[in-house]
Amino acid sequence: MEKFNCVVIGAGAAGLNASLVLGRSHKKVMLFDNQQNRNRVTQESHGFLTRDGIAPASFKKLSLEDVLKYPTVQYEEQTVTCITRQDDDTFKVETTESTFLTETILIATGVQEEFPAITNIYSYYGKSLFSCPFCDGYENSHQPLVFIVEDEAHALMKGKLIQNWTNNLLIATNGHEFSKEALNTLTAYGIEISMEPIKQLIGEDGQLQAIQFLSGQQIERAGGFVDTKFIRKNDFAEQLKCEMNELGEIVADESGRTSQKGVYVAGETAKIEPSSLIMAAAEGYKAAIAIVLDQTNNR
Ligand SMILES: Cc1cc2nc3c(=O)[nH]c(=O)nc-3n(C[C@H](O)[C@H](O)[C@H](O)COP(=O)(O)OP(=O)(O)OC[C@H]3O[C@@H](n4cnc5c(N)ncnc54)[C@H](O)[C@@H]3O)c2cc1C
C-alpha cells in the first residue's frame, strides 16, 4: 500500500494551499477531492489579491497547476470514506476506489449550506442570491435587494450590514415572526420587512426578478442574500476521536492541530462557518507549517 507523509482531504483553497506548502517542503502528499467545493455554484470569486473576479473553476485549475509542479504531490478525484488509526500510529485512508497509508491527515473538507424551505431557491444561489455581502455585495450595489432570513438576530446584524451596499433592502422572514423591537430597529434603518411566507422566487436562469408571497403579493427584486445554516458533511474527526466542543466544532489550535496526534484541520470545516478563499488558504498554509514542524520535531 502506498504511504504518504500527509493525506489532504479536500482541494478547496485550504487543502490546495496546504498541499503547496507541503510540496515545497519535499513532503509526499496525496490530495483528494470530490468536486463539492462550496463556491462551485458561482461564476466569480472576489477579494483575493491578483484573482479578484476569477471563476472558481479557473482558481482551482491554476491552483492545481501550482501545486502539481512539485513532484512529491499527487492529486486524485476520489471521495474519502473512512480513516482509521493503525497500531503503528499511521492512518489507513479508504476512498471509494482505493486504500492508502499516511503519517498525517489534514481535514479540509469545507462545509455545505442548508437553505430555508423555499421551492427552487438553490437555482438562484451563486447567480443572483448570495450568502456573503463582502464576496458579492459590490456587484449588487445600489440595487433593490432582498435578504431572506428567518432568524431575528441574524436579520438585525446582517440587515444593517447589507446597507453598506444598498439602501433599498427588503427583509423577507418567510413567515417567521420578529419582535416589535427588531421591527422598529430595522424600520429605523430604512429597511422594509415582510413576515409573510414566501410562495416562490420568480426569475429566469437564476436571475431573480421578484419574490411572490403566499397572499399573491409580488415584490420586484434584482437579487440579494439568503441566510443559510452550515453543516459539516462528514464524521472524519469523530472517526479519529478528535475532541469536539459543545457546538460540534473540532477543537484545534490556531495552526489546526487537533487533540489527536497527526490529525489537522483547516478551512471552513474547522469552525463550521463561512469564511473566504483567502482566509481558508491562509489556514491551509498554517496547518502545513504545523505538519512539517511536528514531523521534524518527532523525528
Ligand atoms: C455563492 C458563493 C460565493 C462565494 N464567493 C466568494 C468570493 O467571492 N470570495 C471568497 O473569498 N469566497 C467566496 N465564497 C466562499 C468560498 O467558497 C469559501 O470560503 C471557500 O471555498 C472555503 O474553502 P475550503 O477549502 O474551506 O472549502 P471548499 O472550497 O468548500 O473545499 C472543500 C473541498 O473538500 C472536498 N471534499 C469534501 N468531502 C470530501 C471527501 N469525503 N472526499 C474528498 N473530497 C472531499 C469538496 O469536494 C471540496 O472541494 C463563496 C461561496 C459561495 C457559496
Q: What does the pLDDT look like over 12-49, one tens digit per residue?
A: 999 999 999 999 999 999 999 999 999 999 999 999 99
Contact between residue 141 and residue 44 where contact means Cβ atoms under 8 Å apart: no
Q: Which residue type occupies 86?
A: Q
Radius of gyration of the chain (CA): 22
Choosing from 74, 107, 124, 276 the residue with most ligand 1 atoms within 8 A of its CB, the one to mutate for a pocket test is 276
φ, ψ at 56 (rounded to 5°): -55, -40
Choosing from 35, 36, 75, 235 the residue with most ligand 1 atoms within 8 A of its CB, the one to mutate for a pocket test is 36
Choosing from 132, 134, 165, 285 the residue with most ligand 1 atoms within 8 A of its CB, the one to mutate for a pocket test is 132
How far, in Å, is the centroid of ligand 1 from the Cα of 60?
Answer: 10
φ, ψ at 74 (rounded to 5°): -120, 155
Which of 226, 255, 284 marks a domain boundary?
226
Question: Into how many domains does the chain fold?
Answer: 2
* 299, pLDDT greater than 80: no
List, for residues 107-157, the tens digit of each pLDDT value.
Answer: 999 999 999 999 999 999 999 999 999 999 999 999 999 999 999 999 999
Which of 211, 226, 241 marks a domain boundary?
226
Q: Please give the full DSSP string across 154-172, using - where no structure is assigned.
A: HHHHHHHHHTTT-S-EEEE
Decide: 123 in ligand 1 pocket, CB within 6 A. Answer: no
Q: Which domain holds residue 49?
A: 3-112+230-297
Report the relative pairing of strands 91-95 and 99-107 from DSSP bridges. antiparallel
Question: Mean pLDDT for the chain?
Answer: 97
How far, in Å, is the centroid of ligand 1 from the Cα of 210?
Answer: 28
Write out the three cell numbers for 268. Answer: 471552513
Decide: 137 in ligand 1 pocket, CB within 6 A. Answer: no
- Quote the pLDDT of residue 242: 97
Average pLDDT, integer, range 259-280: 96
Contact between residue 147 and residue 160 where contact means Cβ atoms under 8 Å apart: no
88 SS3 class: coil
Decide: 68 in ligand 1 pocket, CB within 6 A. Answer: no
Calculate the alpha carbon distances from 218 to 146, 148, 205 in Å.
12, 15, 19
Asked if residue 72 and residue 204 are part of one domain, the reply reads no
Asked if residue 123 and residue 42 are part of one domain, the reply reads no
- Quote the pLDDT of residue 298: 83
Residue nearest to atom 50 of ligand 1 (CA): 39
Give the containing element (helix H, strand E) for 135. helix 133-136
Which of 226, 251, 280 marks a domain boundary?
226
Residues 6+ apart with CB under 8 A from 289: 21, 255
Asked if residue 120 and residue 93 are part of one domain, the reply reads no
φ, ψ at 115 (rounded to 5°): -95, 155
Contact between residue 91 and residue 262 where contact means Cβ atoms under 8 Å apart: yes
φ, ψ at 214 (rounded to 5°): -55, -35
